[in-house]
Structure 1
C-alpha cells in the first residue's frame, strides 16, 4: 500500500510538472547512507576512499537537489518558469518523504542537515512563484526535515560547526514556513556560536582541528553569516548580537586567509589549509553588507549547493530588496 501511494504521488507530481512544461522529477531519495571519513583524533585527516564512497552513495540524491537549486537560482534571476518547476520538483519529493527515511550513521545525519539547509534556501528563492498547493506540501515536509535535524543535535554541550549548521537549517526552514519553533532553535544556536568566539576572534573548538583549523573556523562562520542574512530577510539584525562578535570571527578568518602562517601559529601547527572553492562562497553576503570589513575581491566560485546555490546572486537580490 505504501509503495502504491508513493507511486500515485509521483504520478500526480509528474503530471503537474509536465503540464507546467517542466521535466519530470526523479524519484525522491528517502534513505541516506554515508560513513565518517576523518581517521584521526583531531578530525583533520580524511580518508579519500571513504569520501569517494560517500559521493557515490549520495549521487542520486545530490543530482536531484542540485537541479532544484539551479532552477531556483534561475527563478531568483527572473525566470519564473524555472521557479515554478523547482516548486513542482520539491512538491514531488515532499510527497515522497525525501530524506526522511533511515540514516545509516551520524555522518548520514550530517549529510541530511547540510542538504536541508541548502534546499530550504533554494525554496525561499523560488517561493513567490510556487503554486499554493505545492507550497503547503513543501512547507510541511521542510518542517519535518528541520524536526529531524534538531532531534539529531538538540543543544549539545560540546558545540561546534555542526551545531551552527543545524541552526542554519532550522533558520532556513523557519524563514520559509514561519515556524517559531525552528526560528527559536536557530536563535539559540546562533547565540551559542557567538558566545563561543574567543577574544582573538577564533572558535576554540575549531582551532583544535589542527591543519584544518582555518578551514573550520570559516566553515563555522558560514552558517552564522547565513543565519544573520535570513534574519535580515525577516527584518531582524542578528549581526549586532553579542556586541557584534560575529565580526571578530570574520576578521580572524580574513586575517588567516591573508596570513596563514600566523593562523597556524595560533593553532599550534606548522601549516593550515585555507578555505577555497564553493565552501567559501558565503563571503559574498558578508562583503556585500560590510564592504569595509571585507574589501577583498570575490575571486573563485560563489556557488555552493548547501548554502542554497548562487550566493552572489542571492546577496545582490536580497540586500537590494532590503534597501541596503
Structure 2
C-alpha cells in the first residue's frame, strides 16, 4: 500500500511538470509535494541469475525481479522527486519550487537517505546520487535562472555518501560498470561540492578502466555479458564519457582513451531490418540503451556514422537526471564550467 501511494504521488508530481510554464496563473499554483523518505538499509540485491546458471549474467531472474520491484521503487522515490522538481523548475523557475527543492534536499540528510553497504547497495547509491547531482547541475548551468538553495545539510550528506562510494571501490577494486558509475557519482559530487577528493577518485576510475580493456579494444567485463553486451558496453562508455567531461579539464589522454572505446563500440554495432547486433551477437534491451548510445554518438558523430542517425535523440535516462540537454551539452563541450 505504501508503495502504491508513493507511485500515485509521483504520478501527481509528473503531471505538475506540464503546466509549470504557466505557474503564474492561479489554476496552476504550485504545491510542494509531501516529503517521504524511508530510513534504514536500502536492501538492494542483484536481479540476475547466479553465475553458475548463467556465466554471462545477462538473464534476469523473474523471482528476484519481483522481490526487488517494491524495494527499488521505495529507494528511488525520493531521488525521483528531486529530479522531477528540478525539471519542473527548469520549465518554469519560481521561488516556490526552489524552496520546495531545498526542503526535499535537506530532508535527504535529515532522514539519512541511502544507508547501506555492500556492492549492490553501493551501486544503487551511485545511480541515485548521479541522478540527483546531474539534475541540480543542469539547473546551475543556467546562470540567469539558477535557484538559490539553502542546502548546507544536503551538501554534508552528499559528501558522506560520496565518500562511502569511493571508499568501497578503492578497497574492492574497479572492474566493471558498477565502478564506472561510481565515477559519475563522484565526478558530479566533485563539481557540485567543488571538492577535489571525489574528482581524484573519478580519475582513478578512468585509469582502472584502461586496465579492463581486452586485446580487441573492448571493455572485457561488459563484452562478456552475452546478449546484454551491447547495453552494458554503452552504459559503461557513457559513464566514462560523462565523468571525463565533468572534470572540466583538458585531459587529452583520457579523452583519447574514451574516444577509442567509443569508436570500437560503434564499429562492433550493426543495425538493420533484423535488429541490432553487437560483436556478432543479437542485442537485447536496445531501447533501454538508447540514452547512452545517443551520448556516444553525440561525442563521436563522424566515427559512429549510421549508428548516430539510428540512435534516439529523445531518449532519456533517470540516472542522468532526465535533463539530457544538459548532459549532451557536457559531452559536446557546450556546458563546460
Q: TM-score range by the shorter chain?
A: 0.7 to 0.9
- Structure 2 partner of 1:67: 81
Deviation at 1:38, TM superposition (A): 1.7
Cα distance in 2 between the residues matched to 1:25 and 1:126: 22
Cα distance in 2 between the residues matched to 1:320 and 1:243: 16
TM-score by length of 1: 0.78
Cα distance in 2 between the residues matched to 1:186 and 1:226: 11
Task: Spell out the pairing of 1:121-270 with structure 2 (5 A cutoff).
Answer: 121-127=134-140, 129-134=146-151, 136-154=152-170, 156-157=172-173, 159-231=175-247, 234=248, 236-238=249-251, 240-242=252-254, 244-258=256-270, 261=277, 263-264=279-280
Q: 8 Å contact 1:285–1:312 — kept in the other structure?
A: no
- Structure 1 partner of 2:35: 26
Report the RMSD for the aligned CA atoms in angstroms.
2.9
Change beyond 3 A, Cα 1:279–1:74: farther
Q: 8 Å contact 2:166–2:186 — kept in the other structure?
A: yes
Equivalent residue for 1:88, pick from 87, 91, 103 = 103
**Structure 1, residues 173-208: CA drift from partner, whole Å, max 9, x if none?**
111101111111011102221343345331112222
- Structure 2 partner of 1:281: 291
Change beyond 3 A, Cα 1:204–1:182: same
Cα distance in 2 between the residues matched to 1:198 and 1:68: 39
**Structure 1, residues 43-97: CA drift from partner, whole Å, max 9, x if none?**
1221022122212112233233222212213434563454553333112222222
Unmatched runs of 5 consecutive residues or more in structure 1: 1-19, 265-270
Q: 8 Å contact 2:48–2:59 — kept in the other structure?
A: yes
Deviation at 1:224, TM superposition (A): 0.2
Q: Does 1:49 align with 2:66?
A: no
Equivalent residue for 2:303, pick from 270, 293, 306 = 293
Cα distance in 1 between the residues matched to 2:88 and 2:235: 26
TM-score by length of 2: 0.75
Deviation at 1:22, TM superposition (A): 4.4
Cα distance in 1 between the residues matched to 2:174 and 2:298: 32
Cα distance in 2 between the residues matched to 1:45 and 1:282: 21
Q: 8 Å contact 1:146–1:173 — kept in the other structure?
A: yes
Equivalent residue for 2:324, pick from 305, 308, 311 = 311
Q: Secondary structure at the match of 1:154?
A: helix
Unmatched runs of 5 consecutive residues or more in structure 2: 1-28
Cα distance in 2 between the residues matched to 1:262 and 1:289: 19
